[in-house]
Amino acid sequence: MNLSSFQSRIRIVSILILIFAIILISKLFFVQIIHKNLYTNKADRQYATPSGNIFDRGSIFFTKKDNSLVAAGTVSSGFKIAINVKNIIDVDKTYESLDPYMELNYEAFLLKASKKNDPYEEVAFHLSKEQATEIDNLKIPGVSIFKDNWRFYPGSSLASHTLGFLAYKGDDKVGQYGLERFYNDTLSKPKDVAYVNFFAEVFSNIKDSIKDVKKQGDIVTTIEPNTQHSLETELSYAFQKWNADQAGGIIMNPQTGEIYAISGMPDFNLNKFGEVKNPSIYRNIMVEDVLEFGSVIKPLVMSAALDAGAVMPDTTYLDKGMVTVNKKDIYNFDKKGRGVVSMQTVLDQSLNTGMVFTENKLGHDKFREYMKAYGIGNKTGIDLPNETSGLIKNLESPRDIEYANASFGQGIAMTPIEAVKAFSSIINGGNAITPHLVKQIRYNDGTSKILEYPIAKSGIIKEETSETINRMLVHVFEAYDGGAHKFEHYSVGSKTGTAQVAMENGKGYYTDRHTHSFFGYFPAYDPQFIVFIFLKNPKGVQYASQSLIPSFMNITKFLLNYYNVPPDR
């Protein structure tokens, strides 16, 4: 063999070694960097319980105003204790040995220890490494330590109805409420096979080992945690002060449908949801409950009449304090007449007789068309489970009284989120938005997807109509309490509502039960925030202007300062 041939072979071997090294380094990079979490989770399975499963799940994030992320639902790791009853020598001594290291209920422990033929009973959860090490050092017969992962909500009760929680379905933990349920397929992670030798993974096909990873990941919500906390603080205060049955609120961008905060009261601690005595508290009243909101509906009817050319802001009528329709008397809230007044006064003073006049000028068919165009009677499409739709069947009735009552918000009902969508359409230029909570999915393979939601620029009302109703609602807000709540440098529009609560049998209304509601928005002529809050059956207070304006003012001041909203006047 000559020198030239030998050198050629050396070069070939060197090239092959180099190629092999590049492939090996590439594989190591993918395993250790790109798919680190995947392999870490697989390694954890060597500590798995006899079932072979270790819980894992994608995270849920809030988004702060600077777009940084804050964990809303994550996975915490630790250890749990299980017993093999057949191997326990003395039940009481076993309990006494374990008790100093954890909260261990004696009766519950005895019950599990009495199952003589059961080789595996879990008795303690969520232990730290230090606790597990100390217990392991005791070498207690029949006691074993296993890896334990669990869902943890850092905010405890923050956005509890929105986030939801996990519960067992068969042998699996799945989302039962809220985003945990709606995005369960995205957040769930597949039960992989047991841990495989590292080098076997390196030399196997990476695509095979990470198949379906694309389908799972984390979700990033539109919820701003400080804004959510502000809303919940004000709702909780009003809820408790007025001893209401329920309370709810939403803060949303009326231009895009992004929800910055949404809450219902009473709420609950997500980390201790099992301690809730009444399961109905888990219901999300913001999307599942249908309510009559009363006079907050008046701007929707007025906008329709303005848009159709049936009335103008300065159109007048004779208010006698009462009007009779189909032999039924309809009164203003105080049963007083104001004489000849304009449509602006109808909204300022929330006159029921004026709304009956307005609906008559609009006509029943047009009234029905506009209410449906607002989306009332249909689901909004919000990304939460169990959404229901409002009730407007009475607008199919041939009886005039049904339309008269509906004109001031009686006899038509909707979910809170449905109401907010409708209100948004009259203040944003007539566009139909889709309220939503999740804006991005971050998949386990390192890719992400921005979620897009439709904005139908269909002209529910004309843009000039939107400008007109905005001016009217700004006047309404600035007329409250003689202008006591007016902002010097910001335009704010609003409307209150006080509605009687319908009887469960559908045969009338309670005279002593009411729902108070309030919606406001700002800056009025280019609104960035819409706030809707309500109390169901508050006690010791007559009108929503008394129970809810203080909370709205506090929320508004917070939002203006926190988001540094520039003055608009």
How far from chain centre, in Å, is Cα 119?
Answer: 42
Cα–Cα distance, 109 to 107 (Å, whole number): 5
Q: Which of 245, 242, 261 is nearest to 253 (CA)?
A: 261
Cα–Cα distance, 460 to 215 (Å, whole number): 37
Given a contact cutoff of 8 angstroms between Cβ atoms, the answer to whether 180 and 58 are in contact is no
Three-state secondary structure readout of 302-336? HHHHHHCCCCCCCCEEEECCEEEECCEEEECCCCC
DSSP strand pairing (60-63 vs 217-221): parallel
Three-state secondary structure readout of 227-265? HHHHHHHHHHHHHHHCCCCEEEEEEECCCCCEEEEEEEE
Q: Which of 291, 243, 235, 221 is nearest to 267 (CA)?
A: 235
pLDDT of residue 211: 46
Using DSSP's 3-state secondary structure scheme, residue 94 falls into helix
Three-state secondary structure readout of 454-497? CCECCCCCCHHHHHHHHHHHHHHHHHHHHHCCCCCCCCCEEEEE
Using DSSP's 3-state secondary structure scheme, residue 384 falls into coil
Given a contact cutoff of 8 angstroms between Cβ atoms, the answer to whether 36 and 29 are in contact is no
pLDDT of residue 200: 41
Cα–Cα distance, 458 to 368 (Å, whole number): 17
Q: Which of 300, 289, 453, 292 is nearest to 381 (CA)?
A: 453
pLDDT of residue 306: 99
Q: Which of 229, 159, 237, 224 is nearest to 550 (CA)?
A: 237
Cα–Cα distance, 208 to 100 (Å, whole number): 47
pLDDT of residue 46: 42
Using DSSP's 3-state secondary structure scheme, residue 63 falls into strand
**Phi, psi (degrees; rounded to nearest 5) at 144:** -125, 155
How far from chain centre, in Å, is Cα 36?
Answer: 31
pLDDT of residue 41: 47
pLDDT of residue 317: 98
Residue-wise pLDDT tens for the chain (569 aa)? 555 665 666 777 677 777 776 776 766 655 555 555 545 544 444 444 554 566 789 999 999 999 999 999 999 999 999 999 989 989 999 999 999 998 899 999 989 988 887 889 999 989 999 999 999 999 999 999 999 899 999 999 999 999 999 988 887 889 999 999 999 999 997 665 433 444 444 444 444 444 445 589 999 999 999 999 999 999 999 999 999 999 999 999 999 999 999 999 999 999 999 999 999 999 999 999 999 999 999 999 999 999 999 999 999 999 999 999 999 999 999 999 999 999 999 999 999 999 999 999 999 999 999 999 999 999 999 999 999 999 999 999 999 999 999 999 999 999 999 999 999 999 999 999 999 999 999 999 889 999 999 898 878 999 999 999 999 999 999 999 999 999 999 999 999 999 999 888 877 889 899 999 999 999 999 999 999 999 999 999 999 999 999 999 999 999 999 999 999 99
Tokens of 242: 């007025």
Cα–Cα distance, 359 to 130 (Å, whole number): 71
Tokens of 354: 């004026």
* Alpha-helix residue ranges (DSSP H) falling in 396-543: 400-407, 416-427, 463-479
pLDDT of residue 504: 82
Tokens of 45: 């399975």
pLDDT of residue 202: 42
Structural domains of the chain, ranges and CATH numbers in brackets: 36-152+183-215 (3.90.1310), 225-562 (3.40.710.10)
Given a contact cutoff of 8 angstroms between Cβ atoms, the answer to whether 297 and 374 are in contact is no
Given a contact cutoff of 8 angstroms between Cβ atoms, the answer to whether 179 and 164 are in contact is yes
Across 6-142, where does the E strand assignment appear?
60-63, 69-83, 121-127
155-191 burial: b if 16+ Cβ within 10 Å, else e: bebbbbbbbbbbbeeeeebbbbbbbbbbbbebbbbee
Taking each helix axis from N to C end, the angle separating 364-373 and 352-362, rounded to the nearest 10 degrees, works out to 100
Cα–Cα distance, 264 to 236 (Å, whole number): 9
Q: How far is CA 63 from CA 133, 249, 442, 563, in A?
A: 37, 19, 14, 14
Cα–Cα distance, 152 to 456 (Å, whole number): 38
DSSP state for residue 291 in the 8-state scheme? B
Tokens of 467: 């400008």
DSSP strand pairing (246-252 vs 259-265): antiparallel
Cα–Cα distance, 569 to 560 (Å, whole number): 14
pLDDT of residue 205: 46
pLDDT of residue 214: 54
Given a contact cutoff of 8 angstroms between Cβ atoms, the answer to whether 277 and 239 are in contact is no
pLDDT of residue 32: 55
